[in-house]
Amino acid sequence: MAFVRTPRRQWIEQGMAALATGGPDAVRIEVLARELGVTKGGFYGHFADRRTLLDEMLDTWERSSVDDVITRIEAEGGDGRTRLRRLFTIASTDAADLHRTDLAVRQWARHDRDVARRLRRVDNRRMAYLRTLFATFCADEAEVEARCTVAMALFVSGPLLATDHGHRSRGQAFGLALDRLVA
């Protein structure tokens, strides 16, 4: 019988799922192995230790939440407003997993300086991209910064809001906010 090794990607994906639901303390080699239906020995064929897995998970989070998103937006082209609308659509469509992981990383960063540095880098990259998009139709640097700040605040805190919006749905209310931002 041939031995089939669990791919590295599966360990990372399972770790990301554990992080999103339970934070970094939920990322345990034994638990991941059990959920993957394998022995934990296979883990060490891919990773030196748990810290290595956590670092690769952060790499994956950064790549998927910044690089992959920008690539998707830029691939379809369009002016700054069109690309901003596409960004908000991606953020709202892919929101559940993206936000759970993002919130878990933000909580983790409160207790780990290395993660806090990584989070700052990711947020700075996001803001830099937003600045390039808003600057295509806003000439005033202060206006660009204000719109970027509001857009980031909506992205980060939007899922945490527990508000009613009168006769509007949550999506409609956020759509109104987006309309104002890209006006």
- Per-residue model confidence (pLDDT) at position 20: 94
As a 3-state breakdown, the chain gives helix, strand, coil percent values, each rounded to 5, of 75, 0, 20
The span from the CA of 170 to the CA of 164, in Å, is 7
The predicted model scores a pTM of: 0.89
Query: What is the predicted pLDDT for the residue at 3?
Result: 47
In a domain, 35, yes or no: no
Phi/psi at 137 (5° precision): -135, 0
| Inside any domain, residue 67 | yes
148 domain-assigned: yes
Q: Which amino acid is at 16?
A: M
Among candidate residues 146, 137, 163, the one with its CA nearest the CA of residue 83:
137
- Asked if residue 99 is part of any domain, the answer here is yes
Q: Could you tell me if 73 and 87 are in contact, meaning their C-beta atoms sit under 8 angstroms apart? A: yes
Q: Which two tokens stand for residue 103?
A: 């919130």
Question: Domain for residue 19, yes or no?
Answer: no
The pLDDT value recorded for residue 155 is 87
CA dihedral (72, 106, 125, 132) positive or negative? positive
Rounded Cα distance between 156 and 37, Å, is 34
Q: What is the end-to-end Cα distance of the chain in Å, rounded?
A: 63
pLDDT in 10s for each residue of the chain, 183 residues: 444 578 899 999 999 999 999 999 999 999 999 999 888 888 988 999 999 999 999 999 999 999 999 999 999 999 999 999 999 888 876 666 778 899 999 999 999 999 999 999 999 999 999 999 999 999 999 999 999 999 999 888 887 888 888 999 888 888 899 999 999
- What does the alpha-carbon distance between residue 43 and residue 160 come to, in Å, rounded to a whole number? 35
Residue 65's domain comprises 58-181
Q: Total domain count for the chain?
A: 1
Return the closest-CA partner of residue 115 out of 34, 38, 27: 27
**Within a domain: residue 119?**
yes
pLDDT at residue 115, rounded to an integer: 97
Residue 145 covered by a domain: yes
Assess contact for 15 and 27: CB atoms under 8 A.
Answer: yes
Q: Is residue 175 part of a domain?
A: yes
